[in-house]
Amino acid sequence: MMFSFIDAVPLSVRYMLFSAFGFALMAVCVKAVSGMGIPVLEIVAARALVSLAISYLDVKRKRLSVWGTHRMLLLARGVSGTLALICVYYSVTTLPLAEATILQYLNPLFTALLALLFLSEKIQRSTLICIVLSLLGLVVMVKPDLFTTLQLPDLPLWSVVAALAGAFGSAVAYVFVRQLSQKEDSSVIIFYFPLIALPLSVVLLGDDFVMPDAYGVLLLVLVGVFTQIGQVGLTKAMQYEKAGKAMAYAYVQVIFSVMLGWVFFSEIPGIWTLVGGSLIMAGALINVLWKR
């Protein structure tokens, strides 16, 4: 009966759930290893090294060229994804897991603005609602004292800025992934991400390298493995379904992150995080699922 239920779930949905859980586990490993004094850029480099090896073997298994055919788009996807990843990892290491994950899902707001500026696409009513709810949810999360007389701590400013920058970079990367998914094999698209991330993070890391112990090495390897799982699931889902519908199911990562943050770090989201996060998630889902 369990298998019949799984078979009834569309393949794109299964891939997105698979991806969301992979990314949630990745965030747990990033937060854990950062607590051991490992710099963010070193975590990015380790993640890229593991993913590069796995991706290279996957491309060769399919007998494909590692360089692809649309190299400028692939490079752009790699650069935007790398910069977004650095910002996301910084926010994960300096914010509670739930808050960091919720702020990453402001990318529909940035996607709409990018489409307006560069593609001359009009903002639809559903997207406008999404923008309003997302901005309101952001304010509720970041400055809860505006809505209550209680003196509540604000989220760290630079951590929030990093999370927003990561969401913006993710929106740019998703646009490139969607364009490339119809032109390149998913393995080649995935391969270009660590191909750019590894040298860039090593250069930026400089002399700040910290030698991890055996447990730290294991966590760093798992960061790469779980990220690869998330990337494969995301890219496959984009190929089986339109980006908007596929991304609707990615928001289950917030639920995974809340649960994992509680289990591994004893983090319990406050009421204002839940209210603000609910507004952001509602806006995103309205934007994705709205029917004309």
For 191-237, write each residue's pLDDT tens digit: 888 899 999 999 999 888 899 999 999 999 999 889 878 877 877 77
What's the mean per-residue pLDDT of the chain? 80
Residue at 35: amino acid letter: G
In a domain, 126, yes or no: yes
- Summarised one tens digit per residue, pLDDT across range 138-163 is 777 776 665 565 555 667 788 888 98
Model confidence at 115: pLDDT above 70: no
Mean pLDDT in residue range 155-176: 84
In a domain, 105, yes or no: yes
The gap between the terminal CA atoms of the chain, to the nearest Å, is: 36
Contacts of 222 (CB under 8 A, 6+ apart): 25, 26, 29
| Distance, CA of 227 to CA of 13 (rounded, Å) | 18
Better-predicted residue by pLDDT, 102 or 219: 219
Angle at 159 between CA 158 and CA 165, to 5 degrees: 85
Residue 74 forms part of a structural domain: yes
Candidates 207, 273, 219, 2; CA nearest to 89 is 219
In the prediction, which pLDDT does 196 show?
A: 92
Q: Please indicate whether residue 202 or residue 97 has the higher confidence score (pLDDT).
A: 202
**Among 200, 100, 112, residue whose Cα is nearest residue 158:** 100
The whole domain housing 264 covers 9-289
Q: Is the pTM of this model over 0.95?
A: no
Q: Is 83 exposed, middle or buried (0-12, 13-18, 19+ CB in 10 A)?
A: buried
**Is position 268 within any domain?**
yes
pLDDT at 111 > cutoff 80: no
How many domains, in total, are found in the chain? 1
| 1 domain residue, yes or no | no
Cα–Cα separations (whole angstroms), residue 89 to 151, 239, 288: 29, 27, 26
Q: Phi/psi zone of residue 154: left (φ > 0), alpha (ψ -120 to 50 degrees), beta?
A: beta
Structure tokens at 29: 């490993």
Confidence of residue 289 (pLDDT cuts 50, 70, 90): low
4 inside domain: no
Give the span between the Cα atoms of 47 and 123, in whole angstroms.
Answer: 36
Report if residue 44 sits inside a domain: yes
Q: Looking at 1-5, 32-36, 158-162, 185-189, which range is the least confident one?
A: 1-5
Q: Is pLDDT larger for residue 115 or for residue 90?
A: 90
Q: Tell me whether residue 93 is in a domain.
A: yes
Give the pLDDT confidence of 50-95 residue by residue, as tens digits. 889 988 998 888 888 888 888 888 898 889 889 998 999 999 999 8
What DSSP character marks residue 123? P
Number of H helices, E strands in the chain: 13, 0
